[in-house]
Amino acid sequence: MSTLAFALAATIKHDGHGGIADLLATPAEAAAWLAEHQHLVTQVLLGRPGSDLGRISYPNRAVILPDADESGVRDELVRIRGAVRALFARAVAPEPPSKADAGRLMAVEDALRMVNRAADRLGTTHLEWVEEPATRWAFRTDDPVALLVGAVGRSAIDFLVSPARGLLRACPAARCVKYFLQDDPRQTWCSASCGNRERVNRHYRKRHG
Ligand SMILES: [Zn+2]
């Protein structure tokens, strides 16, 4: 399962050398990430899987998603990502959160406020009846960045009140900083590679520790 908020939280990952890689480190990287995940944004804004990049259109309205180079997109994504990760940290408690930002998490109250405010910009859903009755957002803004951040906020809310929240884990492997969804109750690590690395480490510690 992939949701927008979950995908955004996953833009902080281990770099394979004991450090942390941020896939949103620069505006260009943020633009690339956004281009790759625009279907998830569209999914939230249209309430169903969207088509392709750029323009979402439906009766009487066209929304152009943030341009690749639009300034501020990266900063806004990083801000709302901080809120999402603070809420993920709370969701996995009492287990420890991802080590990437464990020491500098946003206060939960601030994270809630940010996510709720962002989602507010989408407004309410209205009934639309072209062929079949359907709902669509009656946005409170035309600002594409606000809509993008709003889509993340909405996605975070939907994720956190869904059963998927109970499957959220922070990978406990030494160098890993990933949040993942536990598919199986016996799954401890985010990936087979983390599991193998940890087994080797433990074996080594036992023999040399
Ligand atoms: Zn891992």
Domain count, the chain: 1
pTM recorded for the entire structure: 0.86
Question: 134-159: per-residue pLDDT in tens?
Answer: 888 889 988 888 999 999 999 999 99
Write down the pLDDT at residue 25. Answer: 93
pLDDT of residue 42: 83
The DSSP code for 163 is G
Residue 55 pLDDT greater than 70, yes or no: no
**How much distance in Å is there from the Cα of 69 to the middle of ligand 1?**
32
Omega prior to 94 cis, within 30 of 0: yes
Q: Which residues, in sequence order, are bridge partners of residue 55?
A: 64
Which residue segment(s) compose the domain that 34 sits in? 4-208
What's the pLDDT score for residue 69? 55
Distance 83 CA to ligand 1 centre (A): 21
Ligand 1 centroid – CA 48 distance (Å) = 31
Q: Residue 67: which pLDDT band, with cuts at 50, 70 and 90?
A: low
Q: How far is ligand 1, taken at its centre, from the CA of residue 190, in Å?
A: 4
pLDDT in tens, 88-108: 999 999 999 999 999 999 999
Q: Closest Cα to residue 68, out of 145, 131, 143, 123?
A: 145
By C-alpha distance, which of 41, 7, 12 is closest to 148?
41
CATH of the domain at 200: 1.10.3300.10
pLDDT for 2 equals 60
Residue 126 backbone phi and psi in degrees, to 5:
-110, 155
